[in-house]
């Protein structure tokens, strides 16, 4: 249950604060949430990773499908990627890795200063 709560908080924060803050500030906030929620490090990593990756996958797909923009195709041509959908997948993968590592860092930092050292 704590995992789903942590996942939901991370996804909501990434959705609400993502357009207004730089990504590194959002990752500091996700680390602070991981300090607050506590729990196993493995679950903290996946809660942060999946929370950010879902938002970073769903939002570009929604914007791309609603607007019908050719911008993803132009970026794919610039980066020499054959499929523009792969660009959205790479974005989600980066969100997974960055969100997970920041939640794991926050979780382990919180455990470093706690009295019971259960890793």
Say if residue 26's pLDDT is above 90. yes
106 pLDDT higher than 90: yes
pLDDT value for 117 = 62
Average predicted confidence (pLDDT) for the chain: 90
27 pLDDT higher than 70: yes
Report how far residue 112's alpha carbon sits from residue 119's, in angstroms, rounded to the nearest whole number. 9
pLDDT for 2 equals 87
Of 5 and 73, more confident: 5
**So what's the pLDDT on residue 83?**
83
Please calculate the CA angle 7-9-15 and round it to the nearest 5 degrees.
100
Maximum average pLDDT range among 34-48, 65-79, 81-95: 34-48
Contact residues for 66 (Cβ-Cβ < 8 A; gap 6+): none
Cα(119)–Cα(111) distance, rounded to whole angstroms?
7
pTM of the model: 0.86
């Amino acid at each position: 249950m704590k995992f789903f709560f942590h996942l939901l908080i991370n996804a909501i924060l990434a959705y609400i604060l993502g357009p207004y803050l730089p990504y590194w500030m959002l990752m500091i906030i996700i680390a602070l949430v991981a300090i607050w929620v506590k729990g196993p490090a493995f679950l903290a990593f996946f809660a942060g990773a999946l929370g950010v990756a879902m938002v970073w996958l769903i939002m570009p797909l929604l914007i791309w499908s609603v607007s019908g923009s050719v911008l993803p195709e132009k970026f794919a041509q610039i980066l020499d990627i054959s499929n523009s959908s792969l660009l959205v997948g790479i974005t989600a993968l980066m969100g997974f890795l960055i969100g997970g590592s920041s939640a794991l860092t926050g979780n382990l930092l919180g455990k470093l200063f706690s009295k019971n050292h259960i890793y």
